Structure 1
Amino acid sequence: MIEIDKLTKTYGETRAVDAVSMTVETGTITAIVGTSGSGKTTLLRMINRLVEPTSGEVRINGEPTHAQKPHILRRRIGYAIQGHGLFPHHSVARNIAAVPELLGWPKDKTAARVDELLTLFGMEPADFRERFPAELSGGQQQRVGVARALASRPDLLLMDEPFGALDPIIRTRAQADLKDIQRKLGSTIMLVTHDMDEAISLGDRVAVMDGGKLVQYGPPDEIVASPATRFVADMVGDAERPMRLLSLIPAADLAEDGTAEGSPLPAGASLREALSACLWSGREAVPVEREGQPAGQVTLAAIRARAERHA
């Protein structure tokens, strides 16, 4: 558990972060979203003491971070940034092994961890170990950057706009990869983004920053359905709110008896995906399956009715 208690950072008369308090549960993804200058990156960097707080405290599993030497603390916290920050003259394997080597892991344990992570990220170890960053695509570099941050099994992974440099198609795949890896490893992740869609898609909880203050903190559906301030409402976008809520609701929640034609959607697909499937194919309903077995259908009328409730 990560506890942030009245964390504040001032620069002269400016409060970059103003008495922020929040609790991040173990094994969850928290997305911190806000416009440029809202304090989100400063907040993130105070957690691993790349920026020293003016006042307030961060506790990781009950232990105050100020009670540890910064370089020791950072070995417990993974950190991934936009552009990945890979060492260009080191191989993929050496990049991923950087922190385990600093911690004095045995070579065989380090090598096994490198191969484990490459496999987890869908990169065949024999094909990628000895490649250099310049030989990788943007998406592959991003995966290696996250693998490096996870290599020492940190208590917490901090990510600062990790997908900002990727094109939209690769970015969507990278986001899906991250959610999949997080579920498999049970990692605790705090991620900064300026993109509300990304925050809603990735976060188990979303923290909205404005002018250094935490203006709302809660599950994505709560942020979208009940914005606490005009600023949050503007970030969500009034026109986009129904579609964003549909993206948070599994299609299976609206499944009803019936045998619609066409390729079935998995039960975990969202109502937004079901709507797209209906509109793309011109159908009034799409079938849904759960674990390979038919689970009914979702109708266009039901999707529209759900969206209208939040319009």
Structure 2
Amino acid sequence: MTINIMDIVGRVSYHCDIMFRVIDIKEQDGKKQAVLYGEDIRLIADAPYEDLILMSQSDRRKLAQEYRSLEEQSLELFRQEVFLLKEKREFTVTDGYSKPGNYFQLPGRVLHLDGDPFYLKKCLSLYEKIGIPVTGLHFNEKDMPKIIGDLIEYHRPDILVITGHDAYSKAKGDKSDIQAYRHSKHFVQTVREARKKIPNLDQLVIFAGACQSHFESLIHAGANFASSPSRVNIHALDPVYIVSKISFTPFNEHINVWDVLRNTLTGQRGLGGIESKGVLRIGMPFNLQEESTDGEMV
């Protein structure tokens, strides 16, 4: 059996519990090692070549169906929550429905940096379904600290997502040692650089981290929300659900951390944060166009 780059594989020693994409194959001391990216979770892993097996189409469909079902459940719960937020806003703006509801809303703008172009594509598709204004860019995690300052100045986001792949390696040190993590230190550096541009936690809301990331360091660096408190894997789409809740919550309302986490796929073992404000703003009137004397819209 030959395994090549971009093949979908499972690890025999882990009973093929996670689908991985082969990103690289290296040879060292006569033995092959593969670098793997999780297909649905933000995990990067090294594995012996002989421990890998090609996933059959039926096994791939089974695992993919399980994740898609969870994604749909989470999306439906979020849509219900957005509907309730909209109802609440309409009641407030119309003074208990006693005035015309002639208003518009501006959800928070998201700048999403992702170390994985495949995950980024999935996230952008979900942002579009939910209705979040977003700019998505793919950068290697190591390069993010260098470019984040210029990107913030250019895009001026309300919400920043810094994510990709990560993993804790017991062989490299204790869980408290950030050097034992694949990309946590790069995420931390990126958050610090972002906070040099916008220190205020409510002026720029930041989500940072991936699977098993060093949660405490990310929060201390200035992230509002991060992964992973219990060093568990997180789903590829979890950052989208978190920032979407923030994007649709009015700027004058505080967000309870549990309210943000409850509709994610991973929950509080993989995600956490601090109390923050929403970023949505309401304006009026809704129809800014008026008919001119010659009948044209201006």
Q: Which of 1 and 2 has higher RCO (CA within 8 Å, sep 6+)?
A: 1
TM-score normalised per structure 2: 0.26
TM-score normalised per structure 1: 0.25
